């Protein structure tokens, strides 16, 4: 089955909202989630796409989160199942909008040739409060993680030019058992499966930052407080 790069999006941080708004969801904030489609070849480097950027460098960007990918089919789901017509393509802040691929069909370490570049799946996205703020849907981060429709990140093994309409060619799949969906179940499932966490943390090609998160959870053996991540200043 051919995996299509439907669209490519880039964007730099910008400030939106009202500084003194009464409602938290209307207040001023800065993010690079507002991305626009780009036509023609775009350079993909070890740290991301030319013309793209991040605002929160602690949680976004860097070599392990160089490219954020999302499935085009999820937008149909958000429209039909939840009536979120305001969530349009590019709305999740993705760089690569991909067709014929889902969280249960892509796994940690999957390596693809796309255009002149070679990219490798590094980790699922852990949903935060920013898509919720953008679309004024307070529970959106919870919905993203509970449905498993999180998207995933690529690290870039070989830099090169990429453009929409090209297809992904799978080069290697070393950890087929660690699909993004399975990772999400381990990270966000109601049951704290510490044995599965140990196995995932030991996956060689999992992003080091997520390994560290898992190691901390394994050390504490307790359910993490996710309220700051999923609700943040939207409360």
Residue 16, φ and ψ in degrees, nearest 5: -135, 170
Q: Is 113 helix (H, G, I), strand (E, B) or coil?
A: strand
Residue 166 near residue 98 (C-beta atoms within 8 A)? no
Question: Using CA atoms, how far apart are residues 111 and 169, in angstroms rounded to an integer?
Answer: 8
For each of the domains in the chain, give its residue range(s) and CATH number, in order of start.
Answer: 3-234 (2.40.33.20)
Residues contacting residue 208 through CB under 8 Å, at least 6 positions apart: 64
Question: Using CA atoms, how far apart are residues 83 and 212, in angstroms rounded to an integer?
Answer: 37
* Confidence (pLDDT) at 59: 82
* Confidence (pLDDT) at 134: 96
Question: Would you give the DSSP letter of residue 55?
Answer: S
* Confidence (pLDDT) at 224: 84
Question: Using CA atoms, how far apart are residues 173 and 8, in angstroms rounded to an integer?
Answer: 24
Q: Report residues of the chain scoring pLDDT below 50.
A: none
* Confidence (pLDDT) at 28: 95
Question: Using CA atoms, how far apart are residues 90 and 172, in angstroms rounded to an integer?
Answer: 28
């Amino acid at each position: 089955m051919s995996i299509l790069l439907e669209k490519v999006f880039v964007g730099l941080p910008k400030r939106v909202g009202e500084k003194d708004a009464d409602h938290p969801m209307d207040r001023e904030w800065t993010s690079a989630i507002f991305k626009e489609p780009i036509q023609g070849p775009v350079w993909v480097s070890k740290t991301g796409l030319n013309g793209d950027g991040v605002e929160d460098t602690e949680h976004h960007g860097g070599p392990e989160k160089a490219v954020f990918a999302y499935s085009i089919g999820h937008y149909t789901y958000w429209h039909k199942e939840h009536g979120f017509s305001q969530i349009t393509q590019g709305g999740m802040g993705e760089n690569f909008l991909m067709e014929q691929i889902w969280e249960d069909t892509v796994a940690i370490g999957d390596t693809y040739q796309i255009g002149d570049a070679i990219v490798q799946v590094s980790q699922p996205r852990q949903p935060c409060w920013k898509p919720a703020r953008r679309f004024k849907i307070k529970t959106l981060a919870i919905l993203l993680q509970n449905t498993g429709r999180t998207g995933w990140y690529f690290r870039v093994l070989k830099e090169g030019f990429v453009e929409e309409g090209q297809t992904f060619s799978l080069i290697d799949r070393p950890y087929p058992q660690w699909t993004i969906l399975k990772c999400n179940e381990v990270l966000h499932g109601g049951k704290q499966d510490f044995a599965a966490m140990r196995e995932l943390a030991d996956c060689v090609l999992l992003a080091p930052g997520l390994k560290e998160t898992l190691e901390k959870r394994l050390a504490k053996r307790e359910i993490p407080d996710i309220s700051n991540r999923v609700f943040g200043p939207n409360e």
